[in-house]
Amino acid sequence: MPSTDPASPTDRTTALSPTDRTALGRHSERGKAERRELYDVLDAGVICHIGLLMNGAPRVLPTAYGFDPDGPDQGGTLYLHGSVAATSLRAAPEQEMCATITHLDGLVLARSAFNSSMNYRSAVIIGRPRLVTDPAEVTLGLERVVDQVCPGRWAALRDSTRKELAATAVLALPLHEASVKVRDAEAGDDASDVEANAVWAGVIPVSVQYGAPVANSDCDLPVPDHVQARVS
């Protein structure tokens, strides 16, 4: 349920981690405090992994997402979509779920297995999603998902048909209860391992690359600017 006045944009400096569940245990020094940093992690991604209970056991599924920092839910709104026929989405509004967005930024090769690590940015959002029923918000949610994948794409597409909308479920997860964790550093080795100077240590940077667009076999139109912009 919307719990803040949609006319009041979310304060991006609001503290994250308002509950015990999103307080970091291990490596709490990697935690980020500001809501703005959650939006930064969301901004940079294309897929999230959602966690749901299915017949009492956790299931983790990759899916697209979109978000609106000023959406109607407390802290803003994460939008998820799927077929109305998808078991996972049908079950979702009746239970708590988790959505995790992870960017792998580097392989941290320390001099020992124990100190080996990764550089990453990850956001964990916990909450009870609502099924979006307002037609305007359904459309907005789908627009957010489409434009998260390729900014500017939504404006290039025809309107969704009634039949398509009837076949699509949109879920809204509040961004209120969330944590952000970032590691961005070189390897941290034991002094004795550094002194031994026996093993190379460092970071292999990891990034996501978007390659040159490949037109459909049934399409002879030129690559539009919004697609080119995603790649550049």
Per CB under 8 A, contacts with its own copies among 164-203 are: 164, 167-168, 186-187, 189, 193-194, 196-203
**Least separation in angstroms between CB 139 and its own copies:** 9
**Least separation in angstroms between CB 28 and its own copies:** 12
Q: Nearer to its own copies by C-beta: 10 or 171?
A: 171
Indicate whether 14 belongs to the interface with its own copies (CB under 8 A): no
Closest Cα to residue 111, out of 222, 212, 188?
A: 188
Residues numbered 100 to 159 that lie near its own copies (CB under 8 A) are: 100, 102, 104, 107, 109, 111-114, 116, 118, 120, 122, 124, 126, 142, 146, 149-150, 153-154, 156-158
Amino acid letter for position 156 = A
Q: Nearer to its own copies by C-beta: 6 or 202?
A: 202
Binding segment for its own copies (CB under 8 A), chosen from 7-15, 36-44, 72-80, 214-222, is 214-222
**What does each C-alpha distance from 182 to 15, 17, 39, 42 come to in angstroms?**
16, 14, 13, 13
Count interface residues toward its own copies (CB under 8 A).
93
Closest Cα to residue 80, out of 177, 142, 171?
A: 171
Residues 117 and 183 sit within 8 Å (Cβ to Cβ) = yes
Binding segment for its own copies (CB under 8 A), chosen from 6-14, 34-42, 44-52, 66-74, is 44-52
Indicate whether 7 belongs to the interface with its own copies (CB under 8 A): no
Residues numbered 73 to 102 that lie near its own copies (CB under 8 A) are: 83, 85-87, 96-100, 102
Residues 163 and 86 sit within 8 Å (Cβ to Cβ) = no
Residue 73's CB: how many other CB atoms inside 10 A? Answer: 22
Indicate whether 211 belongs to the interface with its own copies (CB under 8 A): yes
3-state secondary structure of 119: strand
What end-to-end distance do the CA atoms of the chain give, in Å? Answer: 39
**Least separation in angstroms between CB 168 and its own copies:** 7
Residues 173 and 67 sit within 8 Å (Cβ to Cβ) = no
**Least separation in angstroms between CB 106 and its own copies:** 8
**Least separation in angstroms between CB 174 and its own copies:** 14
Binding segment for its own copies (CB under 8 A), chosen from 1-9, 29-37, 61-69, 130-138, is 61-69
Q: Which two tokens stand for residue 122?
A: 């990850």
Residues 48 and 65 sit within 8 Å (Cβ to Cβ) = yes
Residues 173 and 129 sit within 8 Å (Cβ to Cβ) = yes
Strand partners, 68: 77
